[in-house]
Every structure is written in C-alpha cells, then in structure tokens.
C-alpha cells in the first residue's frame, strides 16, 4: 500500500521522543511537511534537525502554549494529539491539582488545538485529527486512574468531534496503543526493576505487570504505533472516522473495538 502525504502539513504534539518522534518520522517519510512540538526548546531543535522537520517549542498543556503554537503554525492538514503524561499513584491519594494537571495536558491540549485546526480543515474539505489515546481508556489501570480517566475522555471527545465534522472530508479518530517501549516506560521500568537490563525488565513486565495479557508477549514499539497513525492520516483511511483503533498487541481481552 502506497501512502503519499506530499503537500500535507502534519503537526505532531509531544514529538521529541517515543511515539511522537516515531509518528513524526513516519509522516515525514510518507512525504508530509512535519512540525514537531515539545516543551524543551533544545530537544525540539535537536529532534527537528535529526528528522529534517520544523519544530515549535510550546507547552500545549496550557492555553498560552497552545496559542503560541497556533500563532507560529496557523494551518495544518493533519493534527496528531500525542502530548501526554502518566504516573502511578493510588487513586485515593491523587490530589485535585493532579487530576486537573492530567486533564489539561492529556485532554484539553488536543481539544484546544482541534478547536482551531479542524474547522479550517473542514473549510478545505480535507483533514485528519488523530488522538493518541491508550488501551487504558477502555481498561482503567488501578494504579493510574487519573491517566485512564483522560484516555477515556479522549475517546468521547474524538467521537463527538467526528460527528460534528460529518460530511466535511475531515476524519477524527483515536489510536489506542498498549504499553509501549518509550522513554517514559523505560524510566518507569528502572523504578520497578532497578539494575536489570531493558530486555529483562520488559520480560518481567509482560510476565507480571499490565502487559501480562498481551498476545504478542512483548511491549509495542513506537514505530508500530506510528504505522497505524500514518494510515489514519492518509487518504487510504477516508472511510474510517469516529473510531477507536487498537494497536495493543491483543492486550485488551475483547473483540470490540
């Protein structure tokens, strides 16, 4: 299958590492003019140089950061809302400010950006909005309820936006990765399994942790998520909208979605 995104501008938030960087690379390889985003200006500039993309440093977890990004990139054909945070914490110990911080970064960032870009896409009769959600959105993690809450919210937001954009040529979808070998997950592994090599940490997590129901018996790789996002961002996915698309290695024990 040939995917050609030539002539399309793709904005990927939270794209200096992990899934975001892999998505940016895949979209650029398919021909898109890619705009990277992150909070750290040095990391954004370095990743942009490495991937041959443009970069904008802005904290999209704040209204001011979204406004700054929009001022510099007023138009986009493809919006990938990947910016996000996660942490483990017992649910009854999570204070109000943490619930709000997770919601602002993981949910409101995508809402604010889509609110600007999606109507403009509709005016051009073509566009793609992709929320990088998680299998945690349909299978709430006991030790990350605040994270799971935001990922479930993304599913509702994505579906509602897709309904609002019906018939415009703009699609809105969620991609739901399982636990993925990102920098953040590797850092978590170092806390869970200190002193072990990454391969052994992964083996332990798959045997004992959240990925124990994976049918792949391993974690997802960022480039595997990026492949699905690239398809969803292309003309090939024109009939797919308002959907929750799993790339979790069969971790969630259900046949739908």
Residue % of the chain over a pLDDT of 90 = 93
- The reply to whether the predicted model has a pTM over 0.95 is yes
Q: Which two tokens stand for residue 212?
A: 């124990």
Rounded to whole angstroms, the Cα distance separating 216 from 167 reads 37
Asked if 75 contacts 9 with a C-beta cutoff of 8 angstroms, the reply is yes
Domains of the chain in start order, with CATH, are 9-180+223-244 (3.40.50.720), 182-219 (no CATH)
Rounded to whole angstroms, the Cα distance separating 4 from 121 reads 18
Asked if 72 contacts 41 with a C-beta cutoff of 8 angstroms, the reply is no
Asked if 10 contacts 27 with a C-beta cutoff of 8 angstroms, the reply is yes
Indicate the pLDDT class of residue 257, thresholds 50, 70 and 90: low
Q: Look at the chain and count its residues.
A: 257
Average pLDDT over residues 157-178: 98
From the candidates 117, 147, 193, 231, which is the catalytic residue? Answer: 147
Average pLDDT over residues 187-203: 93
147 has catalytic annotation? yes
Q: What is the pLDDT of residue 188?
A: 85
């Amino acid at each position: 299958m040939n995917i050609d995104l030539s002539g399309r501008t793709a904005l990927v938030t939270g794209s200096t590492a992990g899934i975001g960087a892999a998505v940016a690379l895949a979209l650029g390889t398919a021909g898109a003019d890619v705009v990277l985003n992150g909070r750290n200006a040095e990391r954004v500039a370095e990743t942009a140089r490495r991937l041959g993309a443009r970069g904008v440093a802005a904290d999209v977890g704040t209204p001011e950061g979204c406004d700054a990004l929009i001022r510099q990139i007023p138009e986009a054909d493809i919006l990938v809302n990947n910016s996000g945070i996660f942490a483990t914490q017992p649910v009854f110990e999570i204070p109000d400010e943490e619930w709000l911080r997770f919601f602002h970064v993981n949910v409101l960032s995508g809402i604010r950006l889509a609110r600007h870009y999606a109507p403009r896409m509709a005016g051009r009769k073509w566009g793609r909005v992709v929320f990088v959600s998680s299998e945690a959105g349909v299978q709430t993690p006991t030790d990350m309820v605040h994270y799971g809450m935001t990922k479930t919210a993304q599913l509702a937001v994505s579906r509602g936006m897709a309904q609002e954009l019906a018939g415009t040529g703009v699609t809105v979808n969620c991609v739901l990765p399982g636990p993925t070998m990102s920098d953040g997950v590797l850092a978590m592994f170092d806390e869970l399994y200190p002193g072990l090599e990454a391969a052994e940490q992964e083996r332990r997590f798959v045997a004992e942790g959240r990925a124990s129901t994976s049918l792949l018996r391993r974690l997802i790789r960022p480039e595997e998520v990026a492949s699905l996002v690239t398809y969803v961002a292309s003309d090939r996915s024109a009939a797919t909208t308002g959907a929750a698309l799993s790339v979790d290695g069969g971790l969630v024990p259900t046949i739908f979605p």
